[in-house]
A = this chain, B = another copy of it.
Amino acid sequence: MRQEHAEQIKNVMQALKAKGEVNEVYFVACGGSQAVLMAGQYIFDRESNVPSHVYTANEFVYDTPKNLCADSLVISCSHSGNTPETIAATKLAREKGAMTVALSNLVGSELWEAAEYPVHYDWGKDVSDSDKNKGILYGLIFNLLKVLAPNEKWDVCLQELEKLTELSEEAKAQYAEQAKDWAKAQKRDPIIYTIGSGINYGEAYSTAMCWFMEMQWINSGCIHSGEYFHGPFEITDYDVPFMLVKSIGNTRHLDQRVEDFATKFTDKLLVLDQKDLHLDTVAPEAKQYIAAILSGVVIRLFIEAIAFERGHSLDVRRYMWQMEY
């Protein structure tokens, strides 16, 4: 992690220590940024006794949780730093006296100014993955947990984040051919569902909402692995495509059940098994976190491949950037 980012996170930690108590952590953002924050909520929920929630920003603004107060910690995120709902939510939280931390790619953006503790992340090629949005979020979370749920494993996890760039490159090389083959086979499909659980649910969510629906105009829906058998699985048929992220974490059993069933009834099940990632060099306590980030890298490969096959650039929008809404 770059010095600048490390210092910004250090500021958060110092403020948190001074604050002492946190009644609730609110993760607040929109769309893809909300999806990224979901992993933060997951880790808090499983690793600490501090309750935490994820909100889409405008619901947080218009229908504010009663427990939001000066004891709360609000973590928001917007890549551009100009998402109006997220700015409004951060301002509201700060007015209520909550501690506000905002992640953004743009220093000095309106979100940056709205939050008491802004944290920057890098973007683009030739930057370290540990300094991009997910690397920085996980770095922030592990540091917060050092204060709120002390455990020596957080230092190990922080160290392992430094391997992200190398591991990402390796994962991309590993999946490059499969991504192309999948894209060729699926390019005419009018709908592709995504499935995931636990820490990976956010990745499944953003794949459906942002990659497929927003950037490819392919119909989609996100299904939690634990919910698949309680409704959604009846849609399964030989020609219905699914993309399943199979966890190496505690929810693996849920994903396995989906795979075992769906394999029998659709010819179009793509399983992205985190067990196939090369994580030998990663400390055991960090594996599931690193894997969750790498799954996002792998999915992106598949999306870029299908975008190419369909001749549909990931940069095309028909509403966003084209009009006011």
Contacts and interface: CB of A to CB of B under 8 A. Distances in A.
A250 B215 CA distance: 31
A85 to B, nearest CB: 7
A13 to B, nearest CB: 21
Interface string A22-60: 011000001110100000000001111101010011110
Interface string A220-251: 11111011011111111100000000000111
Which among A215, A237, A319 has the highest number of chain B CB atoms within 10 Å?
A319
Contacts of A319: 233-234, 236, 261, 265
B62 A253 contact: yes
A66 B47 contact: yes
A63 B46 contact: yes
Specify how many copies of this chain sit in the oligomer. Answer: 2
Interface in A162-217: 190-191, 197-198, 206, 208-210, 213-215, 217
Interface string A118-135: 000000000000000000
A24 B317 CA distance: 42
Which among A190, A233, A265 has the highest number of chain B CB atoms within 10 Å?
A233
Interface of A: 23-24, 30-32, 34, 45-49, 51, 53, 56-59, 62-67, 83, 85, 149, 190-191, 197-198, 206, 208-210, 213-215, 217, 219-224, 226-227, 229-237, 249-251, 253-254, 257, 261, 265, 317-320, 325
